[in-house]
Structure 1
Amino acid sequence: MIYLKTEEEINLIKESAQVLGKAHAEVAQWIKPGITTKKLDTIAEDYIRSYGGIPSFKGFNNFPASLCMSVNEVVVHGIPGNYELKDGDIVSIDCGVKLNGFHSDSAYTYPVGEVSKEVMDLLTATKKSLYKGIEQAVDGLRIGDIGFAVQHYCEEKGYTVVRELVGHGVGRELHESPEVPNYGKRGKGLRLKEGMVLAIEPMINLGTKSVMQEKDGWTIRTTDRKYSAHFEHTVAVRKGKAEILTTFDYIEQVTANTSLMVEVK
């Protein structure tokens, strides 16, 4: 069942998304070599709860933390712990907030210290592909148009698209129908309708598209251990042009003119 949201419900998601965007920015200020992923998780949870929100991920299918912290070859669902970020790492931070009964969901991948040009290009391309996908989240187009836009852009640049993990609907539940793959064919799949709210989240690899799950039951990494990047927005399908409900503005205010900035031109 796909639930079309009313304008009131979309506005509630946007309120949740404001807290989420600010929580991301709060965490971003602390990203540097030597900090543990567990410390960043605590910062996020404290911030979200201080605004009356609930971390969407904590306890979801028994996930133990508020952030998915995915370092280097980890694609998604990394569990925060005692790992200390190092110069040259990248870290994908995926977070959700529930506020006033509605969830929002977004992710951003940060370079830590100085990373290679090859890795920075991966981050830039993945972020750009997110917006390519969002351009297709328009009433009357199809799910396959979103996936095709992401896939075509990334594969042209020599990257690979993870198949096993996809975007999803968002609303009263963190994960709702429909699934939103990052690959597909133009004009194929479910027809998009105004009022759908989707999490679009490209997961793009430097090497093979093949992934595996670690023994913890959560952590997904590339099989060749090459880096993977992940960016995500929660988006409302509209007529003419999609509306981005989450925001990177707060992140980009605190990362401007720093090595954490991932710039898309």
Structure 2
Amino acid sequence: MVELKSPAEIANMRVTGRFVAEVLGELRERAQVGVNLLDLEAHVRERIRQRGAQSCYWDYSPSFGRGPFRNTVCLSVNDAVLHGLPFDYDLRDGDVLTMDLAVGIDGWVADAATTVIVGTAAEEDVRLVRATEEALAAAIAVAVPGNRIGDISAAIAEVAHGHGYRVNTEYGGHGLGRTMHEDPHIPNEGKAGRGFRLRPGLTIAIEPWFAATTDRIVTDPDGWTLRSADGSRTAHSEHTVAITDAGPEILTRAA
């Protein structure tokens, strides 16, 4: 069931979104050569504790994962793109790191992701990250009342194909608000003019992610981490967005 939020409820989500953006900004600065992924996880845990917030990931047990997730941030390196478990790994020069964070404050959730290149950036990795950012911007631009979910999906796919990337439709965007995953599902490829009609009060996470040379993914033995099937680099960009009469509002934009 799709739940439309009131302006007051969107205002509550805006508070959460700003916190998510702040913490992701701190992680972007901390993600340097030699930094351990577990140190990034520890930073997020402490920030959530200080704020009195709740991690949406801790104890999360969806059908696609293995048992409860026992971390507060997803950290995915190089060919890993989604649901990466933080582990004892020191970041290396040239690593591509995706950081995905979902938090609840006073019962209202926001979700965002960003990909950074640690140290020296290879041109092909810069292009891949930029493609996800461009796809996210294109998708947000069409997230207006009267359009449909398919318009968002088609906008993402158009950017991907324009860069020569294929699109996986197993995992994509989603509704959110009181919980991290709500209806509707938002594939990263689809037909414009199709699907659920966008209405003011709808709050969604839009999250294009691409792999450099494949649209297939595999799951690590940990039961969570998703990687490109051919080992190619990956990137992921995500914002929480509210559909309003005035147009799309990014709730996870840094202040």
In structure 1, what is the Cα distance between the partners aligned to 2:170 and 2:81?
A: 11
Quote the residue 2:64 is aligned against: none
Question: 1:84 aligned to 2:90?
Answer: yes
Structure 1 runs of 4+ with >4 Å offset: none
Instruction: Output aligned runs, 1:127-142, within 5 Å.
Output: 127-142=133-148
Quote the residue 1:24 is aligned against: 24
Preserved CA contact (<8 Å) 1:49 1:55: no
Question: 1:202 aligned to 2:202?
Answer: no
Quote the residue 1:151 is aligned against: 157
In structure 2, what is the Cα distance between the partners aligned to 1:85 and 1:12?
A: 35
Instruction: Output aligned runs, 1:97-112, within 5 Å.
Output: 97-112=103-118
Give a deviation string over 1:234-260, Cα, whole Å, max 9, x none: 00012352111111x36xxxxxxxxxx
Give a deviation string over 1:56-104, Cα, whole Å, max 9, x none: 2111111110010010101100100101111010100000110010110
Superposed displacement of residue 28, structure 1:
2.0
In structure 2, what is the Cα distance between the partners aligned to 1:191 and 1:101?
A: 26
Superposed displacement of residue 34, structure 1:
1.1
- Residue type of the partner of 2:54? I
Aligned alpha-carbon RMSD (Å): 1.0
Superposed displacement of residue 29, structure 1:
2.2
Question: 1:43 aligned to 2:43?
Answer: yes
Quote the residue 1:261 is aligned against: none
In structure 1, what is the Cα distance between the partners aligned to 2:140 and 2:229?
A: 28
Question: Residue 242 of structure 1 aligns to a residue in which SS?
Answer: strand
Question: Residue 81 of structure 1 aligns to a residue in which SS?
Answer: coil
In structure 1, what is the Cα distance between the partners aligned to 2:120 and 2:42?
A: 25
- Residue type of the partner of 2:78? N
In structure 2, what is the Cα distance between the partners aligned to 1:51 and 1:132?
A: 33
Structure 2 runs not aligned, ≥5 long: 62-67
Give a deviation string over 1:183-220, Cα, whole Å, max 9, x none: 10010111111101000000111111111111211111
**Amino-acid identity (%):** 37
Preserved CA contact (<8 Å) 1:90 1:112: yes
Q: How many residues align?
A: 249
- Residue type of the partner of 1:59? D
| Greater CA drift, 86-95 or 47-56 | 47-56
Quote the residue 1:66 is aligned against: 72
Picking from 173, 180, 186, the partner of 2:179 is: 173
Preserved CA contact (<8 Å) 1:23 1:48: no
- Residue type of the partner of 1:86? R
Question: 1:213 aligned to 2:219?
Answer: yes
Question: Residue 3 of structure 1 aligns to a residue in which SS?
Answer: coil
Quote the residue 1:254 is aligned against: none
